């Protein structure tokens, strides 16, 4: 048992993190701790931290629960939404099961309406997220929403969310984000010292460590070790590998057939722009700001997700990442029936051609029926670079 409570040390252990996290979550519960299930990068984690809640990502990444979800949800819906709901419906995800509250946001329509149904199974609180960043009152609305969330959590769990607690939560989260950013920035090296698949697993696994300071430390030590090996001449990636920027929808559920295929066809993913990668970690909040809630609100509202309109922040981010990471090609991963990203794909394709970047958009779902077609597309793209 104690073994499972150890922090992951190697890439393989990080990919086991989600599994081992179950035991950690169970322990937290046994010790009287509270769990908040979250789905989205817009969730203001610092507020949950300050309330003493342990935040756990519930995004469904497996095809397994989709048939259950389809008994209530339409077939033609994003697999992430169906999978997540299926987990709640079939009680197959211990994280969902252990959650004392689920926090959702009004992001895409599918998720928003799924949360309504989820609310009938689990206690769910939906934060109203503005749909754009360019109106001054969007920031105001979002800040008000965060204050409302604070009051709700205080009342519900009988806790006090003070400014001090928020500030120290901001510091801790900043440290973790910085550690992740530094780890990701290793891949600016040519060739990178990490394969994208390994990097992604470490980043993903960190979400199941639950001790934010420890997670930051684990990131730092992973970075140190990778760098040491690299400096000692260890090159896990060929210098001829094509350097790929991955963008688009969250990719946890399609990792092998997308990133795995890119990396077995002569490419290496050096940068993940998606949630789970740079998008979620790049911006920090100022722990010294006068109004800390307003500052947290600012930090989160600026995230460049396709559910925003306009979504200039994503375009700007991709532009700079392409330079920073010496990118050879952009691969956008689109989950079937995700309207925000599949429509915005046109903008990203255009952006890519503007900046002279080859672009490949791949639409896929959590099933394995399209692996052959996907590998043809990805291999052809690699041959083209």
By the criterion CB under 6 A, which residues form the site for ligand SF4? 40-42, 78, 80-81, 107-108, 110-111, 249-250, 275, 303, 305, 307, 335, 338, 340-341
Site string for another protein, 213-252 (x = CB under 8 A): ----------------------------------------
Q: Which of 10, 162, 353, 368 binds another protein (CB under 8 A)?
A: 353
Taking CB under 8 A as the rule, does residue 328 contact another protein? no
Cα–Cα distance for residue pair 201/206, rounded to 1 Å? 8
- By beta-carbon proximity to ligand SF4, the closer residue of 219 and 335 is 335
- Nearest approach in angstroms of CB 101 to another protein is 38
Taking CB under 8 A as the rule, does residue 376 contact another protein? yes
Cα–Cα distance for residue pair 84/100, rounded to 1 Å? 16
In residues, how long is the chain? 385
Q: From the list another protein, ligand SF4, none, which binds 168 (C-beta under 5 to 8 Å, kind-based)?
A: none
Site string for another protein, 246-285 (x = CB under 8 A): -------------------xx-------------------
- Nearest approach in angstroms of CB 86 to ligand SF4 is 14
- Nearest approach in angstroms of CB 377 to another protein is 6
- By beta-carbon proximity to ligand SF4, the closer residue of 249 and 382 is 249
Q: From the list ligand SF4, another protein, none, which binds 180 (C-beta under 5 to 8 Å, kind-based)?
A: none
Q: From the list another protein, ligand SF4, none, which binds 369 (C-beta under 5 to 8 Å, kind-based)?
A: another protein
Listed ranges 135-143, 150-158, 248-256, 355-363: which one lies at the site for another protein (CB under 8 A): 355-363
Listed ranges 20-28, 146-154, 249-257, 372-380: which one lies at the site for another protein (CB under 8 A): 372-380
- By beta-carbon proximity to another protein, the closer residue of 119 and 236 is 236
Pairing assessment for the beta strands 101-105 and 267-272 based on DSSP bridges: unpaired
Q: Output the furthest CA–CA distance in the chain (Å, rounded).
A: 59
Q: From the list another protein, ligand SF4, none, which binds 78 (C-beta under 5 to 8 Å, kind-based)?
A: ligand SF4
Listed ranges 50-58, 126-134, 172-180, 376-384: which one lies at the site for another protein (CB under 8 A): 376-384
Cα–Cα distance for residue pair 130/307, rounded to 1 Å? 10
- Nearest approach in angstroms of CB 345 to another protein is 10
Q: Which of 111, 299, 363, 366 binds another protein (CB under 8 A)?
A: 363
Instruction: List contacts with another protein (CB under 8 A).
Output: 265-266, 353, 358-359, 363, 369-370, 372-373, 376-377, 379-381, 383-384
């Amino acid at each position: 048992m104690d073994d499972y409570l150890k922090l992951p040390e190697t890439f393989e252990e990080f990919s086991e993190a989600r599994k081992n996290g179950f035991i950690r979550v169970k322990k937290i519960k046994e010790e009287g701790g509270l769990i908040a299930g979250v789905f989205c990068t817009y969730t203001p984690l610092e507020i949950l931290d300050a309330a003493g809640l342990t935040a756990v990502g519930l995004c469904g990444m497996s095809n397994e629960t989709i048939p259950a979800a389809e008994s209530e949800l339409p077939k033609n819906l994003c697999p992430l939404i169906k999978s997540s709901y299926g987990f709640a419906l079939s009680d197959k995800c211990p994280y969902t099961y252990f959650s004392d509250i689920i926090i959702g946001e009004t992001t895409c329509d599918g998720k928003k309406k799924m949360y309504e149904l989820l609310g009938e199974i689990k206690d769910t609180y939906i934060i109203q997220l503005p749909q754009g960043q360019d109106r001054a009152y969007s920031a105001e609305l979002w800040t008000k929403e965060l204050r409302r969330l604070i009051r709700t959590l205080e009342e519900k769990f009988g806790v006090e969310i003070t400014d001090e607690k928020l500030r120290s939560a901001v510091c801790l989260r900043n440290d973790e984000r910085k550690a992740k950013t530094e780890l990701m920035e290793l891949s600016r090296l040519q060739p990178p010292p990490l394969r994208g698949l390994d990097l992604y697993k470490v980043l993903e696994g960190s979400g199941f460590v639950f001790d934010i300071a420890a997670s930051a430390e684990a990131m730092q030590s992973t970075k140190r070790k990778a760098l040491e090996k690299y400096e000692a001449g260890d090159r896990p990636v060929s210098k001829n590998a094509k350097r790929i920027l991955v963008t688009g929808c969250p990719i946890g559920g399609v990792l092998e057939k997308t990133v795995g295929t890119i990396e077995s066809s002569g490419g290496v993913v050096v940068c993940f722009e998606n949630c789970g990668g740079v998008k979620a970690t790049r911006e920090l909040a100022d722990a010294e700001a006068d109004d800390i809630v307003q500052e947290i609100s600012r930090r989160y509202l600026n995230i460049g997700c396709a559910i925003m309109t306009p979504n200039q922040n994503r375009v700007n981010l991709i532009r700079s990442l392409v330079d920073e990471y010496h990118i050879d090609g952009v691969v956008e991963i689109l989950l079937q029936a995700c309207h925000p990203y599949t429509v915005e794909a046109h903008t990203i394709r255009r952006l890519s051609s503007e900046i002279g970047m080859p672009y490949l958009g791949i639409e896929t779902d959590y099933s394995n029926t399209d692996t052959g077609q996907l590998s043809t597309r990805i291999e052809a793209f690699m041959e083209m670079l």
